[in-house]
Amino acid sequence: MFIVSNIIMLIGVSLNSIFIIFTLFFERKSPSRRLTWLLLLFFLPYVGMILYILFSGHFFTRTRSMTKITKELSQIYLPLLKEEKKILKESSSKLPNNQIKKYNKIITMNMKNANSFLSFTETVAIFTFGEHMYDALCNDIENATESIFMEFFIWRNDKTGKRILDLLCKKAQQGVKVKLIFDDLGSFFTPRNFFTPLKKAGGEVLPFFNLKRGVAFSVNFRNHRKISIIDGKIVYTGGMNIGDEYANCSSKRKWKNVTVRDTHIRITGSSVLALQTVFLIDWFSITERKNIKKDIKNISKYFPIDTFERYSKIISTDNEKKLIHELLTETQIPTQIVTSGPDNIQKAEIRDMLIRMILSAKKSVRIQTPYFTPDDTFLSVLKIAANSGINVEIIVPGKWDKWYVREAAFDFIRECLDSDIKFFAYDGFIHSKMCIVDGHVVTIGTTNIDTRSFDLHFEVNAVFYDQIIAKQCDDIFDEDKKNATALCSEDFNKHFILRRALWGFCRLFSPLM
C-alpha cells in the first residue's frame, strides 16, 4: 500500500512538473495569465492540474462539424469579402460614404482578422431596458411567418422565460420553423424539461456544449452570444439574456430594488445575413443529427431569396463604379458583424477591434461594461489614449453581481484613475457592452471588458460606422452618467489596507474570472 501511494504521488509530482514547464516555456498567453497558472500549479498541484485542463484554453478542439459548416457558409460571403477588400484597397478615394473612408483601416482589419464583410443596416432600434426589448421581440415573434432562430447564454425558468417560450410554442404549432440554442452552463439551473413543450410543438432545441453529458473539456468555452432572428429579416442582439432580472421584475432577493440597465438592438438590412450566418454555424456545429447535408443549397434555404439575388448580382458585375454605387451606398448604415471565440486561440478578434477603435480616437472613448478586468494590452491602450489627451470615460456597475469580480475590478480601476481615465459607478447593475469613439463609430454586442470574453467565450458584436447611431449612443451614455457617481482615487485609497490587499489578490486570478 505504501509503495502504491508513493508511485501515485511520484506520478502526480511528475505530471505537475510537466504542466509547470509547459506554462513557463510554451504557454503563449500573457505573462499575467501564465503567472496565475503557475501560482495554482505550485500551491495547489493536483487541483491546479485539473483546473488547467478545464480552463486554460489549450485543451479545446474545434469540432469537425464547426469546421465544415464554417467552410460551407463561407461560400456565401467570401466572394463578396474579396471584392470589398479590393475596393477598399484600390479605390478608397472613390467611396461615396465618408464614414467608410474615415474608418477604412478598422474595416480592413476586421475583414482580414475576422472575415467580417461590410454589410448595411436599414434600421436600428436601441433598447436600454429589458421590458421594452421583450415587448418588441414578442411582437415580432407574433408576426413571424417563416422562421424564428434564437440563441442565448441564459434562459431562465421564470415569468419572462415562460412568456417567450409559450410564444415560440404557439408559432411552432402554426408551422413556423423554430430553432433554439441555450448555453448549457449559463442556463444550468433551468431544467431540461422546461423546453419540452417547444419540442412537442414542433420546435428544435439544442444545448451548446452539453455539460450534462460529461463534455468536461468544454466547460470553459461558453456561447455568450444573444441572437434572435425573425424570418431572416429582423435581428436582435446585444447584452440581454432571457430572464426576469433583465425585465426589472425579478422576485429574487438579489435583484429586488436593483435597476438592471442593458443595451440591445433590433436591426434590419443586409447585416441580418451576417448574424444569420453566425447562428447557423453554431446550430450545425452542435446538431445531434448525424446525416444532415451541409451543402450550400441546403443552407441557402435559411436566407431570404432576395438577399442571395442581391449579393450574386453585386459579385458578378464587372462594372466597378456600379459595384461601388450598390455596395458602398450613402443611404444605409455601414455595419460589420464581428465574432470571436476559442475555436481559434491565436486570435482575439473583438478585443483587437476594440483596441483599433480606441487607437483611432481623436477626442473621446466611451465604454460601458459590467465587468472590468482587461488584459495587459487593452489596459495599456486605454492608458495611452488617456495620457494622449483623449477623454476616456467608462461606466461600470454600482452594484455588482459577482463580489470577486468587483474586488478584482477595483484594483484595475484604481490604477486607471491614476492615468486620468474617468470612471462612473451606475446606480444599479449595468450589463451594457458598448464602446463609442469620437461620436462617429460605435459597437454594441455581447463582449465584456475581461479576459474571459476576449479569449474564452463565443461572442458577437455589431459595429456601426454612422454618426447618427453614435449620437444616439452618446445620448444614452450621458443619461446613464446622470444616474451614476463619478469615482476618484480617494474613494479607493481610503479603504483599509486589508481590503486593498484583497483587490490585489483577486486581480491575480482575473484571467480566469
Active site residues: 224, 226, 231, 431, 433, 438
Is the backbone of residue 306 left (phi > 0), alpha (psi -120 to 50) or beta?
Answer: alpha
Residue 361 in contact with residue 388, Cβ under 8 Å? no
Those residues whose C-beta lies under 8 Å from the C-beta of residue 344, and which sit 6 or more positions away, are: 62
Residue 433: how many other CB atoms lie within 10 Å: 26
> Which residue, 495, 396, 398, 497, is CA-closest to 449?
396
Grid cell in block for residue 47: 487541483
CA distance 169 to 151: 16
Q: Tell me the backbone φ, ψ of residue 341, rounded to 5 degrees.
A: 180, 170
DSSP characters over 302-361: TS-HHHHHHHHHHHH---HHHHHHHHS-SSSEEEEEEEE-TTSTT--HHHHHHHHHHHT-
> Which residue, 441, 454, 430, is CA-closest to 366?
441
Residue 137 in contact with residue 236, Cβ under 8 Å? yes
Q: Tell me the backbone φ, ψ of residue 318, rounded to 5 degrees.
A: -100, 0
> DSSP 3-state assignment of 72?
helix
Q: Tell me the backbone φ, ψ of residue 178, rounded to 5 degrees.
A: -120, 125
> Which residue, 413, 404, 339, is CA-closest to 379?
413
Those residues whose C-beta lies under 8 Å from the C-beta of residue 56, and which sit 6 or more positions away, are: 37, 220
CA distance 284 to 206: 10
